[in-house]
Amino acid sequence: MRLISRQAFTLLELLVTVTVIGIVSSLLIRSTYTFLQEQHLRQAANELLSYLLTARARALREANLSGKACEVQLNASTSTVQATTASANICNDSPGLPALDLLTASGGDALTITASDGSSPYYITFTRLGTVASSNLSSSTTITLPRIFYLSNSPATQMQRCVMVDLNSLRIGWRNSSDTALCTYNAN
């Protein structure tokens, strides 16, 4: 009796294997792309929060002696944050607080920034006590607190990152773009 050894795959086996690999690859690529978009958005929100914390720390450290405040502006159209040119701005004094390009921080993705109130540019003024002022040095408009900045990228992911500026706190959070509720923040 002679045994027949099988040394090749059938055409049907090859087609099934290629189809399964194709489906798994497409799912993996899509989830990886969404993950990277979310990470870029998180990075931009973290950079904005870090910049605001630095401005607040400078106001606490240096404004006490001079009586000045630290004011920064967030320009949504250029996705930049920088110290304003107001004469009473301690963050503009030498050495000035360097500008931050949020578009670069987000990995070069399209970045959309909006706020819960007002129109761009958005001014944030930290007093010598480290609190947010109710009015700004560069703008006579009254600020409604908390002020929430929404960061989203394009093509839009399901999540938006939020940075909330309150009287005494700065926090980062998120919201689902299909939900109209305010942002959700971690307890810490």
- Residue 120 to residues 57, 107, 113, Cα–Cα distance (Å): 24, 22, 9
Question: What is this structure's pTM?
Answer: 0.83
The 3-state DSSP class for residue 112 equals: strand
Rounded to whole angstroms, the Cα distance separating 52 from 149 reads 12
CA-CA distance, 140 to 123, in Å (whole number)? 10
pLDDT in tens, the chain (188 residues): 677 766 888 999 999 999 999 999 999 998 898 888 889 999 999 999 999 999 999 999 987 778 889 999 999 999 999 999 988 999 988 888 999 999 998 887 788 898 988 778 999 999 999 999 988 888 777 888 889 999 988 666 667 899 999 998 999 998 876 666 678 886 54
Return the closest-CA partner of residue 106 out of 155, 40, 50.
40
Q: Nearest CA to 149 among 178, 127, 174? A: 174
